[in-house]
Structure 1
């Protein structure tokens, strides 16, 4: 009779698109259902991000293989730690929680192509003595926030070209083209505008397309793939005519993101506007386009959604981060990440404390590139998806020792010493009489300030 009924893994979504970015945290649970008491050597979970490419090229009788690998991170947490004596778990369902923090460094978005891929995934593994390991894997969709300046890529793009038509026809052609912005999210609509001045004797068809270019790099060699995503052909333009054209093109919902921050894989897009002329070279305008996550596209000034590049309306760090453990696993990669201590509880209306102005720094602005909806808060940390005879909830591994709290700031006492006294010049005596009506006598203060010279010199 087998001992293990199932080993499953789930993770919590941070937004409606179920995507993650640099600096986000990944939380979830691993559920182990046992049919009887079972001895377990270890149970651990990994979160890792890797990019790899591989292709072959035949030259004569030889076949050459080009491949490359790039690891961005690898973290490991023991849910049941390896010990000198194995752990015996009773029959029933056991739920183990986990939490990882994705590094804040720049990393490319998830991608799968014909000759390479960029994959971020969770992997849980159960080890038992003299038994095959039980493994469960689950990919997470990662979207990068490392993009050029948002105000630049969201501005309209304009191009123009001129061409003299020769051999089979004569005249000159002028083409001006514009797209409404330089960055789009999957599902958005691209707006083309073109003005054609056909002063030649040839007819032509204006065409619009969106093209993708993927380049794989390995061992100093590269392999390029191009693909046309969409194409639109407009009505024929007669000779010696001028025409203004406007059309729209929708980006597919499952379109891959632009990748510009990977050493071995790059994905770029180009909006192409050209004139199809028979028996002549076609004049064309190429405008670079970026495909980015919807949450970042909605943060543009031209979009009604709230937010900014690299960040939306609320913080993507709903929980405080914790430093990684200094230990490493057997593979030599960074060890398990510690957990953050629970945030202190603050009163609803804290008292006002007197102190220096500016002693407490103001809260930073929202961090860029995150999603607007925070992590959903469930009433219980881990549910029970199975109806087993018993359920054991295992909390996440013990957190790293919390950092010493900062000393509390006491209100400054009011200044009790009085200001030092100074010897001031004697003031003139108060004038109680109406000296303006006394025409024959000087004012009293005058005699005090300027005594009679004869009197002052008398001895």
Structure 2
């Protein structure tokens, strides 16, 4: 006759989706119903967090297996300690309460993939000497909230690309793309605006794809898997025409969050905007997309504007075309602040981190904004800068003062212009409606490659 009538584990819910995060306290109870007195050697509940990957690769006649394991924490709560010896529990129903606090720190969210997983679980174990042990396993849904620099995730992104046509057509094509922000929650909508200048003799079709990339790492090797989550196709653009294309991509509610803080597994999303051209390589722009818990972006997932600029502000997103020089599609001259460069910004930890990388197979990725809180990929890439703020000028004989950019927390402080006795006075109001050409943009915003150098006006 068995001595255990029932053996159950129940946990208290901390929220509606029954998830836990860093620093949360797990509480619950274990119920043990005995039909007769029983001798117990040890009795405890344990919480663990682990990540593991494994895959096989065939090379010639041999098959290689790559695997890795990472443990984040292990917690135990003893009802009957192991060193206490045999303990007799009388017949009847016994309820044991427990409380376990998950450690603070950066830990990845729960994930399951074909070649790896990140899992958190509770296990209750009852040891009864020569009798078979009894265990209960219960998975914990863990949602990471380790996303520093949240303000930078709400900043808009800008990218551009050019292409000279080849043998089958003449001319060139230029495309500028803006995305409303970088961080989203599942269920949010990505708003994209693409300005396309088709100065070639062939037609082309704008396309927008949201891609998820999973990367497994073990023993110095990596394995990547790409999935197209959503794809939108625009209307054909005829030769010798210019067009602004607006697109909205809805992120499915069941999408997993970005995993950027695991050594052996990374999950990242990318937005790919490209022009489908027959018999030619497609010019494209790639943007990182971070999927985070909705509570990290209060109001953003409800359609509230989250950019750092007020509506219609100079150089900020608005319902109209973003500014660009006459006769050109790009909003920035080459080398100007806000345009492409090879500069890394200091992170919140006080040091420069490497720029983001993209999965193998992507063609010609354009500069992207670096991940301020740690890049899940290791290959080098360029940097996409956020747009600068509107410069303010004072009509004085001295050189104009340049106000700090709203991105001053990630870009160097502009140099101070000192008035020299030999410097000629400036009597031009650059914001007036005079016919005089304003100074070169690169003079107002010096290139990042020059440090401690001030050009005299």
Tell me, what secondary structure is at the counterpart of 1:108?
coil
Please show how residues 246-257 of structure 1 align to structure 2 within 5 Å: 246-257=246-257
Count of aligned pairs: 305
Please show how residues 1-150 of structure 1 align to structure 2 within 5 Å: 1-82=1-82, 85-150=85-150
CA distance in 1, matches of 2:304, 2:9: 37
The answer to whether the 8 Å contact 1:297/1:303 transfers is no
The answer to whether the 8 Å contact 1:8/1:30 transfers is yes
CA distance in 2, matches of 1:68, 1:267: 16
* Structure 1 residue 202 displacement after superposition: 1.1
CA distance in 2, matches of 1:232, 1:300: 23
Give the aligned partner of residue 184 of structure 1.
Answer: 184
Tell me, what secondary structure is at the counterpart of 1:124?
strand
Give the aligned partner of residue 379 of structure 1.
Answer: none
Q: Summarize the Cα distance change of 1:2–1:299 in structure 2 as closer, same or farther, 3 Å threshold.
A: farther
CA distance in 1, matches of 2:92, 2:303: 51
CA distance in 2, matches of 1:261, 1:19: 19
Q: Summarize the Cα distance change of 1:65–1:43 in structure 2 as closer, same or farther, 3 Å threshold.
A: same
Please show how residues 1-400 of structure 1 align to structure 2 within 5 Å: 1-82=1-82, 85-298=85-298
Deviation digits for residues 112-135 of structure 1 (CA, Å, limit 9, x no counterpart): 111111111111111112221111
CA distance in 2, matches of 1:42, 1:299: 49
CA distance in 1, matches of 2:228, 2:216: 18
Query: Which of structures 1 and 2 has the larger relative contact order (alpha carbons within 8 angstroms, sep 6+)?
Result: 1
CA distance in 2, matches of 1:18, 1:298: 20
Tell me, what secondary structure is at the counterpart of 2:295?
helix
Deviation digits for residues 77-123 of structure 1 (CA, Å, limit 9, x no counterpart): 11123355532323332211111111112111111111111111111
Tell me, what secondary structure is at the counterpart of 2:152?
helix
CA distance in 1, matches of 2:60, 2:281: 36
CA distance in 2, matches of 1:153, 1:119: 26
Q: Summarize the Cα distance change of 1:84–1:196 in structure 2 as closer, same or farther, 3 Å threshold.
A: closer
CA distance in 1, matches of 2:28, 2:241: 64
* Structure 1 residue 297 displacement after superposition: 2.8
The answer to whether the 8 Å contact 2:150/2:296 transfers is no
Give the aligned partner of residue 353 of structure 1.
Answer: none
Tell me, what secondary structure is at the counterpart of 2:167?
coil
TM value normalised by structure 1: 0.63
* Structure 1 residue 303 displacement after superposition: 6.9
CA distance in 1, matches of 2:295, 2:34: 41
Deviation digits for residues 373-429 of structure 1 (CA, Å, limit 9, x no counterpart): xxxxxxxxxxxxxxxxxxxxxxxxxxxxxxxxxxxxxxxxxxxxxxxxxxxxxxxxx
CA distance in 2, matches of 1:92, 1:244: 74
Q: Summarize the Cα distance change of 1:300–1:248 in structure 2 as closer, same or farther, 3 Å threshold.
A: closer
CA distance in 2, matches of 1:22, 1:303: 28
Q: Summarize the Cα distance change of 1:299–1:11 in structure 2 as closer, same or farther, 3 Å threshold.
A: farther
What runs of 5+ residues in structure 2 fail to find an aligned partner? 306-457
Deviation digits for residues 17-76 of structure 1 (CA, Å, limit 9, x no counterpart): 222221111111111222333322221110111111111111122211111111111111
* Structure 1 residue 304 displacement after superposition: 6.3
CA distance in 1, matches of 2:301, 2:81: 50
Greater CA drift, 277-286 or 108-117: 108-117
Tell me, what secondary structure is at the counterpart of 1:193?
strand
Q: Radius of gyration: which is bigger?
A: 1
CA distance in 1, matches of 2:299, 2:75: 31
The answer to whether the 8 Å contact 1:48/1:72 transfers is yes
CA distance in 2, matches of 1:21, 1:229: 26
The answer to whether the 8 Å contact 1:150/1:300 transfers is no
Give me the CA root mean square deviation.
Answer: 2.0
